[in-house]
Amino acid sequence: MSDLDTVFDDVLPSDHRSGVVAVVGRPNVGKSTLINRILGQKIAIVSPKPQTTRRQQLGIYTEAKAQILFMDTPGLHTPHHKLGEYMVGVAEEALKDGDVILWVLDISVEPTKEDRQIAELVNKSRGNTPVVLALNKVDLVDAKKREAHLDLYGELVDQDAAILVSAVNGDGVTELVDYLRESMPLGPRYYPVDQVSEVNMRFIAAEVIREKIILNTEQEIPYSVAVEVEEYKERSDTMTYISATIYIERDSQKGILIGKGGEMIKRIGSEARTELADMLGTQVYIELRVKVLKNWRMDEDLMRRLGYRLPKKED
C-alpha cells in the first residue's frame, strides 16, 4: 500500500498525521496478513494455524502526509500455559496504547465466544479511544450471510466505523487505511520513510524459521516450538550466515522435527533460506539444531530466556 517512490520533503506539512493503531482480534482472523497487505511487504509471519503471532510487532506505514504505526498483537484467547498468559497480556497492553483500536474479525462466520470476550475487554479498556472494525475474509461469504453477520458483529461493541476487507486480495484495504489516516492526531514522523518495522533481521530470521516449522509440522509441534538465533553474520556483501537452535518440549518431538534421514529439518532450512535470501538480497547459509527444553511454556524463567517476558500483574 505505501508508496515509497513518492518524494518526501524534509519539512513535514502542517497537517501531517501520526499515531498508533492497536490491532487486536482472536487467533487466525488475519491480523498479520492484513498488516502485511497494508505495508506492501511481509513483516509478520502468517499461517493457517492459530496463535502464530506471539509477540507485539510494529508495522510502520508511511506516506507524504501521515505515518501510521500498526501494533500487531497475538490473538486474544483463553490461555492454558504461561506462554498463553504472555501473549494475552501483550494484546491487552496494546489496547491502552493505541490512538485507534482496530479490531479484526472474520465476517465469514458468526461471532464466537472468544469474540464476545474480546468485546467485553474492548468495552472495558477503550475509554475514549475510537474503535474500528475490520471485517476480514469478505471474499469467503455471500451477500446474505455477510449482512447477517455484519449485524451480529455490530452489536458487540460501539464502533466508529465497520469496514469490509479482504486481507488476501486487498478488497476494502484502501478505504480502511484512508479512514485510519483521518483518525490519527496531528503529529511528527517518528521513523525514517523507508523503515517498515522496528525489529532487526535477527528477530525476523527466527520468525521465518518458526513459520516454516508451523507450516510443515502437525499436531502439537507448532505450538511448543521456540527459535533462538545464536549467530547472525554478514560474512560478505553476498553471503549471510545464520545459526539457530529450535527448542521443543519433549524428546518425542525431536524425531518428528528432524524427520527420517533429516528430511524435515532440511526442508525447513531450505524454505527459510529461500525466503530470507529474497529479503536480504544475498545468499543465505542456515545451520539449524534441535534441542529439548522440557515444558518451557510453563516456566517463566525459561520463557524469559527465550525472550517472552510476562507482563507485571497489577496489585
The percent of residues in the chain predicted with pLDDT above 70, rounded, is 81
Q: How far apart are CA 43 and CA 23, in angstroms?
A: 14
pLDDT at 311 over 70: no
pLDDT band at 51, cuts 50/70/90?
very low
Q: Residues 287-310, buried b or exposed e (16+ Cβ, 10 A)?
A: ebebeebeebbebeebbeebebee
Beta carbons within 8 Å of 151's beta carbon, 6+ residues apart: none
Q: Among 83-92, 258-267, 281-290, 298-307, which stretch is predicted with the lowest mean pLDDT?
A: 83-92
Measured distance CA(128)–CA(100) in Å, rounded: 10
Q: 82-141, pLDDT tens digit by residue?
A: 555 555 556 566 667 789 999 999 999 999 998 998 898 888 877 888 999 999 999 999
Q: Which domains, and CATH codes, for the chain?
A: 17-183 (3.40.50.300), 201-305 (3.30.300.20)
Task: Give the DSSP per-residue string, 106-123.
Answer: ETTS---HHHHHHHHHHH
pLDDT value for 73: 73
Distances, alpha carbon 149 to alpha carbons 33, 141, 145, 170, in Å: 21, 10, 6, 20
Is the confidence at residue 305, as pLDDT, over 80? no
Sheet strand arrangement including 100-106: 57-63, 66-72, 17-24, 100-106, 131-136, 161-164
Look at residue 308 in the predicted model and tell me its pLDDT. Answer: 67
Closest Cα partner for 88 from 298, 310, 299?
310
Per-residue confidence band for 243, with pLDDT thresholds at 50, 70 and 90: very high
User: Is residue 163 pLDDT above 50, yes or no?
Assistant: yes
Identify each DSSP E strand in the chain by its residue range.
17-24, 57-63, 66-72, 100-106, 131-136, 161-164, 226-236, 239-248, 283-292
- C-alpha span between 105 and 25 (Å, rounded): 6
**pLDDT tens per residue across span 166-188:** 999 999 999 999 999 999 999 99
Minimum mean pLDDT range among 63-67, 83-87, 290-294: 83-87
- pLDDT of 181 reads 96
Question: Which has more pLDDT, 160 or 95?
Answer: 160
Given a cut of 50, is residue 4 above it in pLDDT? Answer: no
pLDDT: which is higher, 204 or 243: 243
List helix spans (H) across 79-112: 82-97
Q: Residue 257 is placed in which grid cell?
A: 522435527
pLDDT for the residue 45: 47
**pLDDT tens track for 200-220:** 788 888 888 988 998 888 766
Q: What is the pLDDT of residue 146?
A: 92
Answer for the pair 94, 100: CB distance below 8 angstroms, yes or no: no
**Which of 75-84, 252-261, 275-284 has the lowest average pLDDT?**
75-84
With beta carbons less than 8 A apart as the criterion, state whether 121 and 92 touch.
yes
**High-pLDDT (> 90) share of the chain, %:** 43
pLDDT band at 50 (very low <50, low <70, confident <90, very high): very low
pTM for this predicted structure: 0.65
